[in-house]
Amino acid sequence: MAEADLDVVIRQTAKAQNKSLMAAIKKRRDQIMARAAKAKDRELRDQLRLMARSTMELGAAAAKRLQNSAEIAADAYARAMRHAAEQAAAKKAAAKPAKQKHGGKGAARKAGKDR
């Protein structure tokens, strides 16, 4: 079932995007923390530290939403492919009419009752 491999690709791509996004978030946080370390007054330093913490929290939440969206898309694709395969199998089975036997025990019994 080669079609189902695309959901794995979706998951792998999302994982790679998540890693790069988290790296960018951490880099930005580190830049803000470096500015906080160089700050002259306490208020600015505290404000920059708060910004760094918020940047990390909001970025992590965005990364998690991205990962969840990709998982949902991959699951939906896999489910759609399974459904399509089931429909194709049902259509193929409906195209071949089942052979009915004329005779056997049921036909003999009916013939015996008619007499």
Intra-chain end-to-end CA distance of the chain, in Å: 57
**Spatial separation of the C-alpha atoms in residues 45 and 12, rounded to whole Å:** 39
The model's pLDDT over 31-53, given as tens digits with 9 standing for 90+, comes to 999 999 999 999 999 999 999 99
Retrieve residue 102's tokens: 């004329």
**Would you call 74 exposed, middle or buried from its count of C-beta atoms within 10 A (0-12, 13-18, 19+)?**
buried
The pLDDT of residue 1: 47
The model's pLDDT over 79-99, given as tens digits with 9 standing for 90+, comes to 998 999 899 888 888 887 655
Contact call for residues 18 and 67 (beta carbons, < 8 A): yes
Of 27, 70, 71, give the one whose Cα is nearest residue 52: 27
Higher pLDDT, 27 or 93: 27
- Evaluate if residue 6 carries a pLDDT over 80: yes
Which residues, 6+ apart, have CB-to-CB distance to 71 below 8 Å? 11, 14
pTM of the model: 0.68
- Evaluate if residue 115 carries a pLDDT over 60: no
